[in-house]
Amino acid sequence: MSKYITTPIYYVNGEAHIGHAYTTFIADTLARYEKLKGEDTYFLTGTDEHGQKIEESAQKNSKPTQEFADEISASFKNLWDEFDISYDKFIRTTDAEHKKGVQRAFEVMYAKGDIYKDFYEGHYCVSCETFFTETQLVDGEFCPDCGRSTNIVKEESYFFRLSKYENALLKHYEENPDFILPRSRANEVINFVKGGLRDLSVTRTSFTWGVGMPNSIKDDKHVMYVWLDALMNYITALGYGTTEENMRYWPASVQFVGKDILRFHAIYWPAFLMSIDLPLPQHIGAHGWWTRDGEKMSKSKGNVISPKQVADVYGVENLRYFMLREVPFGQDGDFSQRAFIDRINSELSNDLGNLLNRIIGMSGKYSDFEIESVNVLKYHKKEIDAMNVVLDSLDIFMKNFQTHRYLEELWKLFSIGNKAIEEHAPWVKMKDGKKDEALSTVALVANILAKASIMLHPVMPRTTDIIADALNFSISHESYRELVQEKKLLKLFNIKPVPPLFPRVDEPLMPEAPLAQPNITKESVKAAEQSLCEGDNLIEIGQFFQTSLKVGTVIAAEEVEKSKKLLKLQVDLNEGKPRQVVAGIREFYSAESLINTQVCVVANLKPAKLMGMISEGMLLAAKDEDGLCLIRPEKPKKAGTPIG
């Protein structure tokens, strides 16, 4: 059975950031995993290069639009090549074959009656390339997604009959509950569709940078609107509308997207596919956003992370491991250098790197680097059985895109290896003349390292190739079949010494994110000094401990009708039933973005009533001129964990 895996095509109005890298890493990891298992797999990534934003960005940079798009697209492709991303095709929406495929889809939809011409007047957000109704806007003017001002646009347009597919979409969601993963993201999409779908403007006349109309439709003043153009890349890359050479890979196994573009991929895209009579993808996988040290990244704050900068100083393999290990798929993640360094030193250097070094050292000392597995089952059946249990458990985590659990489970193999060395102490066995037993322990750990490196290969391909070379084998579908599926052991071989794979990191290698500077004036300093002198703001330690602060997990969230500020949350504090907390954070967080994330809760406040609803606690947050952000634990903690 073939597999088709895609990233979104990245918009070329700026260079790649850490969120782009995460999407690409997880897609690349899954593609490598499927290929390792022997599946016929096709992996697509690329760039989205049309639309008003690109045209305007090119003008600001005083460059022809195509030249501007070429440069930014090349920066993405060069970075992915530098990172060894194993894509089978890098598509650009300026490719001639893509344009032909989009035009063919337009013709099919038009002939079917799903596209018609009319006039459109509405509020348009250039940044999001989206029209909004008056009721959807914030304060009657601002985009509900990005917060920027919208423009009133009135122009002739071709429309796609999105409303026609409302019931078909709802039926598909119901019959395919795993169509959107994680499932917690599905409610947002379903509720949007149930609210009623309006027909979608799919062409524009106010700019020219886009795919022109098909020759069969004589209307040259129109260009296709970015979402119809961009979404079609997933099938034009396979030859739709032209050669059809790789259409056997459709439908896609999984299409990875950021949660900010889930609506387009889970509503518009399926409707387009229904219109042109193609099957829908099996899964749309929506991941969360990345913050830095708990703060939203922005250019104005100077805390945006360049994946190339991180890779240049820490190594791309370490970056891949950290991002895929740190955060459950679907949740927001936080990039902290301290957390990154902790994982390098404890998990990569200590657990994996030192284990390999110990085996190289012992084999060199005891057997001139020769390793033979002949006595492993005789002396280490318990460890072999435990290793096989771990290996058999891994596949389900990768199928559900839970790379953090996949790696957490995989790391148990290194624990088995390190524990075996301590328990069986080969150096003692050698002194006691039990060389066979000593060498069997060395061979056991060599086999653990070999099998673990195969399963780690999709995440850290360069590193695991070095380990495999040291153990005198190569990682391939054949070695996966023999060592993992058939549970065979390594044959007689000579191990090769290698330099330490993960040198310890003692201090951050990049500048830390700049701290927000307080607005200090003479008056504020004077007021603070006076307040301290008078003791007005000082409390006793006992007073502080009267406040109960706990970590909570948000298990449900929804907007409060008739309020632009309030969200109603159900928060698990490990009390048997969740608490309802009403929080004024809607301007800064969407309801769906909070589900399955953790917050800090003041847990012993008296219940209060807000807009007729009981609120049983308060969330800790910080707010300044750049907005509000919730205070969260650096790493996931058990619900109900006290803070103090």
Annotated binding site for Zn(2+): 125, 128, 143, 146
524 sits in which H/E element? helix 522-534
CA distance 241 to 96: 11
Neighbours of 612 (CB within 10 A): 7
Q: CA distances (Å), 299 to each of 20, 147, 296, 626, in order?
A: 16, 16, 10, 12
Closest Cα to residue 212, out of 223, 201, 203? 223
Whether the bond between 251 and the residue before it is cis, its omega within 30 degrees of 0, is yes
- List, in sequence order, every residue forming a beta bridge with 314; answer none if it has no partner: none
| Under 8 Å between Cβ of 393 and 409 | yes
- CA dist., res. 130 & res. 410, Å (int): 43
Give the span between the Cα atoms of 558 and 563, in whole angstroms: 12
Residues 6+ apart with CB under 8 A from 370: 363, 492, 493, 494, 495
Q: Contact at 8 Å (CB) between 24 and 45?
A: yes
Report the alpha-carbon angle 121-122-126, nearest 5.
Answer: 120
d(CA 41, CA 5): 8
Q: How far apart are CA 198 and CA 154, in angstroms?
A: 17
Q: How many angstroms separate the Cα of 51 from the Cα of each of 62, 93, 146, 157?
A: 17, 11, 17, 15
Q: What distance, in Å, lies between the first and last C-alpha atoms of the chain?
A: 53
* Dist CA 153 CA 134 (whole Å): 13
| Alpha-carbon radius of gyration of the chain | 28
Could you list the beta-strand ranges (E) of 262-400.
283-287, 290-292, 295-296, 333-335, 370-371
Can you read off the two tokens belonging to residue 548? 């109960």
Q: Could you tell me whether strands 283-287 and 254-258 are parallel, antiparallel, or unpaired per DSSP bridges? A: parallel
Binding residues: 125, 128, 143, 146
Strand order in the sheet with 333-335: 295-296, 290-292, 333-335
